[in-house]
Amino acid sequence: MLPVPEPAAGPGTAGGRRLAVENTALALLLGTMIVLPLAEIALRQFSVGIPSAPEFLRHLTLIVGMLGGVRAARDGRLLALSAAPTLLAGSARTVAQLFSAGAGAAVSAFLAVASTRFVLEERSGGGVLAYNIPLWVVQLAMPLGFGVIAVRLVWHAGPSLKLRCLTLATALALGAAGAFAPVPVALGGLLVALLLGAPIFAALGGAALILFTGHDVPITAVAIDHYGLVTNPALPALPLFTLAGYFMAEGGASRRLVRLFQALSGWFPGGPAIATALICAFFTAFTGGSGVTILALGGLLMPVLLSAKLSDRDALGLITGAGSLGILLPPCLPVILYAIIAKVDIATMFLGGLLPGLLLIGLTAGWGVWASRRGLRAAGTAAAPRARFDPAEARAALVAARWELLIPVVSLVALFSGWATPVEAAAVTAAYAFIVEVVIHRDLGFRDLPRVMAEAGLLIGGILLILGVALGLTNYLIDAQVPAALADWSLEHISSRWLFLLGLNVVLIIVGSVVEIYAAIVVVAPLLIPIGLRLGIDPVHLGILFLANMELGFLAPPFGLNLLLSSSRLRRSVPEVARATLPPLAVMFVGVLLITYFPPLTTWLPSVFAGKP
């Protein structure tokens, strides 16, 4: 859902004080999530540890997720599929906002009720977290969080009390209709709300609630699934790697890296295009999504590419296409999430994605070099003077960016050395990024930390809301034996696994263009994994293929996320961005076909590290 303008909340206002409290709380919680694994690593050297540290970390993820969702609801930044409210005008826009906000609030209220029932059941069970802390006290974050989100969706649906009352009435009416309407009608209304701008988590959670209610299953099941996923032992790696990416993006890392790659490669034709592909892949790998990359680097890279004589269209296409590079590289969050959902070792998934990720970077950079040379020929030699390589500038840029260049080394060494778990490796990476940007370079001051960490928490909250409720929908589909039915149909009608994979490529690109990547992993991947196993497809190969197609989905018109973000950041129309992105999209699709039909690209490195011949 998109933000609705409201009076500024200054530091002295009640809204400003609430915002400061929420930002500080998120910063403290995320800071604790960094410190706890680091302390565990240190104490393990002395054969001691912190009792129940993993349990605390899992439940800190739950609290951070709910609080981040509350902050996202306050700012109107819950992840949504549609931008309809901004495309409509007048009364049509008002109706769209009322309907979408009312539907989101109704679903949030039902999720609060389901979570309350879950907490009451847990309280009667008498579970204890640690140090005699009742488990239900921590689990209260769920009903409280969903309840506040429902209130904020209503409150921020419009600037006037009249609009807020109308939104509340809409939420009550939709809630009553959803509870008693036939399942197809209720799902249809939910789809309309999604298309009008309702948050993605509300659409997925609402679908799960409707389907469970329609089959006489208690809605508590949705809350149980949400709790089970968000407190998964491996999931704290997501917020920790996200936080590391935000430290880099909000600090001066982007400027230093652009300067370095420009100094190393900007002196020869096509060098800036190579630098663009490498920098974007670097940022996406750490921030977990192409959105932050385009927003952080788009404005910096566009003038560099234009000065290298790329046409405006080619420069726009390269930035938009390169923004999705890096999703297959460690420590990118979608790889971690897929490994959790598919029950594949995280390190193995990272190894599997390394060569395919480098292939896609190389192909995109190669297209950029070709486009650059075409631009030079069009401009004429006299119009394209080239600077000479400056060793002094390259050395100075390397010295300035040396600490950022070590971030992937620190992350990979911690991840693959064996002395840290994936979650602990994520904490080491976040701590290192903090030291680089706050202590060494001082691009961020301690006063900036609550804001930066709250921004990271806001994104984490939006993602975890989607993941938690999406699992409820996934489990319903599994209980309904949908994966088994799809597998039987596939085996009956598709005898060749290669033909199946080709069709899968096309379907997944379409899915990736309209479904948020984290929701797609939780909902779609469990449907495909049983089919892949029955067709004899290596699970790591299937996972990397899935994520590579999601990467292309960011660029697929008309709804690909990168198209929308580039349009906003670079002030171009969506059709213009879509046309400019078609060439890199085609080049990357060739790469995906190579990944599809040459499995050793994915399976060779995992087999080497596993000691297989």
3-state secondary structure 277-340: HHHHHHHHHHHCCHHHHHHHHHHHHHHHHHHCCCCHHHHHHHHHHHCCCCCCCCCCHHHHHHHH
Q: Which pair of tokens denotes residue 54?
A: 């993993």
**Is 127 a residue whose pLDDT tops 60?**
yes
For residue 199, which phi and psi values (nearest 5 degrees)? Answer: -60, 150
Main-chain phi, psi angles of 128, to 5 degrees: -125, 135
pLDDT > 70? residue 87 = no
Q: With beta carbons less than 8 A apart as the criterion, state whether 73 and 168 touch.
A: no
Asked whether the bond before 184 is cis by omega within 30 degrees of 0, the reply is no
- What are the tens digits of pLDDT across the range 494-542? 767 778 888 888 888 877 776 667 778 887 888 888 888 878 888 899 9
Q: Is the pLDDT of residue 605 over 80?
A: yes
CA–CA separation, 431 and 80 (whole Å)? 31
Matching residue, tokens 């060439």: 583
CA–CA separation, 566 and 285 (whole Å): 19
Q: Which residue has the tokens 């921590």?
A: 138
- 571-599 pLDDT, tens per residue? 777 678 888 889 999 999 999 999 998 99
Range with top average pLDDT, 99-113, 153-167, 295-309, 466-480: 99-113
Residues 142-182 have pLDDT tens digits of 999 999 999 999 998 878 888 899 999 999 999 888 888 88
Phi/psi at 80 (5° precision): -130, 155
Rounded to whole angstroms, the Cα distance separating 487 from 467 reads: 24
pLDDT of res. 9? 53
CA 580 to mean position of chain CA atoms:
24
Tell me what pLDDT residue 13 has: 66
Q: What is the pLDDT of residue 516?
A: 67
Mean of pLDDT values over 50-68 = 90
User: At 420, is the secondary structure helix, strand, or coil?
Assistant: coil
Distance CA 511, CA 529 (A): 16
User: Residues 6 or more apart from 347 whose CB is under 8 A from it?
Assistant: 415, 416, 422, 609
Both structure tokens of 268: 């020869």
Q: With bands split at pLDDT 50, 70 and 90, how would you rate the model's confidence at 4? A: very low
Output DSSP code: residue 354.
Answer: H
pLDDT at 289: 58
CA 331, CA 422: separation in Å to the nearest integer?
Answer: 9
Angle made by CA atoms 61, 114, 519, in degrees to the nearest 5: 55
612 vs 164, more confident: 164
Q: Which residues contact 155 (CB under 8 A, 6 or more apart)?
A: 164
